Structure 1
């Protein structure tokens, strides 16, 4: 037993050493990139004179109603509702990893202008103002059940449209996997909009990194997950201390445009930073293991919109195209010069297709 324990300890030390090497190499590359970008951008992060969103009330939209919904595993979810309780159509917004309700800032403003629409938005477990686990890991399967609970509690009758960004789209797929009876002609889910998401095979995504670094991440996930939980306080303090680096990384991995609103980048970085490290660690494995191509067949008879930015490094265009190969009747929209938070970065382009998509699904409404 002693020999086995010693061997295991050596193996773990080697794994952790490898993680440290990888992080060191990646950090060196990031440091060079940050230094170069600082030279190019100068004081752009703080210069807001020409920023179109310098006065945008991010995070302060308010809601007609705020509610708490308790999940089947006992977590309290923060829910915001807008619109007439008797509206014939409910749109449920499901945000992505390390973000919150604010992800759909511009889409909520749009949907408020569409007659006959009621809006439900909620913070996923561990995000925003929702409760978080104190033990164990999150699972997308459970998040699918959470979405079912939100629908049952906030829109018990009438058709709903589900709009999911990134992990939110995966959660919608998990809902379809467990409750296929909700989908189809005349069923509860009248339509689905999937924004910057994937049905699986995320282990092949390089995130713009050299392939040698991208390939080794899956075998090391247990080490990274455990280390992230154990050293969460240290990492949280480090993230707060290096705000310039966090801002640059947010711009790099969230946006595709060379000229991006500093206020917009800062808002997304704020959402990222507000997600505790232990929450991030408890989500990593379930996201990497996500594979729900079979569940997509539940959408075959439902109007489906698929949107992706052509510069998305996290869920690239190929993943949107893979979804549409399973759903040939889905509408695919590729937004130029857009990254992973396409619905914020180029909200005009996203709203231009999401607006008509929702309007066409309002019972008794005018089709466009």
Structure 2
């Protein structure tokens, strides 16, 4: 081989080697690239669902799970950030609504509520949380509703014995009292905000709250202002079954936490709330600081004290849900929650049903975007302002038209 051939071969080998390194660099760059997370994937995508009493479960990978996806900016992904998110992120104001004074001149109860007012003739979504929760349970889903219905208002109360509501002692958690509380809150909000008439109302209740809003809808106390009501993850059959294990569940959860962040972390790790942003928003409303122990952050609500009222909440719920006037919707975390009466009613088209099997008991906190979507659609289907009625015969005659 001549010197010229040897030089040419050596140069070619060097070029080939550089091309190999270039290809390796490109492959490494592709391996380091993490695709952007698509809208709605920031929430945990677990196909398992737990009982209505406790939403603990095992993470089950699914083909749709993108384990290495990056969230689309704060606060969707949550990550390991356990700092609380303030209620002002989601609501425009808080109200303290005092009932009529008793014989001693003190208000019988002062309800604390979170409010974002409706715009123009927009609807008012009135939210009632479940036992042990607070009005902040609907903060994230409320903001998602307003993205889909910008004119909508959100009214979310702290029930007696919950959140920042100041309640008399001993506490009466009977369904009749809770229903009366909810109606009073709606009327007092109307007075305090100076609304001449109630906006179109959509009642939304989770667990115990579902029983309360159903009972209120059944009385027709809101008249024509009520467009419909939605119950989140509670039906009579499964609720009564779950109550049998509630005492065991309460005995297994922590009695307190060293910090609020520790409380948030427990809710996420135990799968009680599966979406970190929801946990960072709602858990602070469940705890209050009681100094003097290594775990000073205690539960605001003594759930064990509500035990005498458990059966009262749910007995007859399915029949009342189907019988009450107005549009009705049921959102569940699993088909196993349906009892016979509701299954027959659904087959007869008496209400609309949505199942989110990837959520736990706190379906609206686990999947706020999807829950908001079905609530927004539910409002649009029942919105009477879009109805165009034919003119009356008397009006046609007055206009000189032949009938």
Which TM-score bucket, shorter chain as reference? 0.5 to 0.7
The partner residue of 1:302 within 323, 326, 329 is: 326
Q: Distance in 2 between matches of 1:157 and 1:131?
A: 25
Q: Is 1:133 aligned to residue 168 of structure 2?
A: yes
> How far 1:354 moved relative to its partner?
1.4
SS of residue in 2 equivalent to 1:77: strand
The question of whether the paired residues in 1 share the 8 Å contact of 2:238 and 2:339 is answered with no
The partner residue of 1:337 within 338, 347, 358 is: 358
What does residue 143 of structure 1 align with?
Answer: 178
The partner residue of 2:98 within 66, 70, 81 is: 70
What does residue 120 of structure 1 align with?
Answer: 155
Distance 1:131 1:200, change over 3 A: farther
> How far 1:145 moved relative to its partner?
0.6
Of the structure 1 ranges 65-74 and 280-289, higher mean CA displacement relative to structure 2 is found in 65-74
What does residue 29 of structure 1 align with?
Answer: none
Q: Is 1:354 aligned to residue 387 of structure 2?
A: no
Distance 1:296 1:152, change over 3 A: same
What does residue 80 of structure 1 align with?
Answer: 114
What does residue 134 of structure 2 align with?
Answer: 100
For 1:12-44, what per-residue CA distance to the aligned partner results, in whole angstroms no more than 9, with x for missing partners? xxxxxxxxxxxxxxxxxxxxx99x99xxxxxxx
Q: Distance in 1 between matches of 2:155 and 2:278?
A: 23
Question: Which ranges in structure 1 are unaligned for 5 or more consecutive residues?
Answer: 1-32, 38-48, 207-213, 229-234, 311-315
The partner residue of 1:239 within 234, 256, 265 is: 256
Q: Distance in 1 between matches of 2:275 and 2:337?
A: 27
Identify, as 1 or 2, the structure richer in helix.
Answer: 1
What does residue 153 of structure 1 align with?
Answer: 188
Q: TM-score with structure 1 length normalisation?
A: 0.64
For 1:177-217, what per-residue CA distance to the aligned partner results, in whole angstroms no more than 9, with x for missing partners? 5x24546xxx23111111112336633127xxxxxxx47x7
> How far 1:358 moved relative to its partner?
1.9
> How far 1:251 moved relative to its partner?
4.6
Q: TM-score with structure 2 length normalisation?
A: 0.59
Q: Distance in 1 between matches of 2:124 and 2:214?
A: 18
Q: Distance in 2 between matches of 1:130 and 1:306?
A: 28
Q: Distance in 1 between matches of 2:263 and 2:125?
A: 36
The partner residue of 1:53 within 68, 78, 95 is: 78
The question of whether the paired residues in 2 share the 8 Å contact of 1:67 and 1:80 is answered with yes
Distance 1:321 1:97, change over 3 A: farther
What does residue 399 of structure 2 align with?
Answer: none
> How far 1:74 moved relative to its partner?
1.5
> How far 1:131 moved relative to its partner?
1.2
Question: Which ranges in structure 2 are unaligned for 5 or more consecutive residues?
Answer: 1-55, 60-69, 101-106, 191-196, 289-297, 389-403
For 1:323-345, what per-residue CA distance to the aligned partner results, in whole angstroms no more than 9, with x for missing partners? 45446421111102210111121
> How far 1:163 moved relative to its partner?
0.9
Q: Distance in 2 between matches of 1:366 and 1:248?
A: 48
SS of residue in 2 equivalent to 1:254: coil
The partner residue of 2:207 within 145, 153, 166 is: 166
Q: Distance in 1 between matches of 2:312 and 2:269?
A: 26
Q: Distance in 1 between matches of 2:85 and 2:301?
A: 29
Indicate the RMSD between aligned Cα atoms, in angstroms.
4.2
Q: Is 1:204 aligned to residue 241 of structure 2?
A: yes
> How far 1:268 moved relative to its partner?
4.7
What does residue 175 of structure 1 align with?
Answer: 216
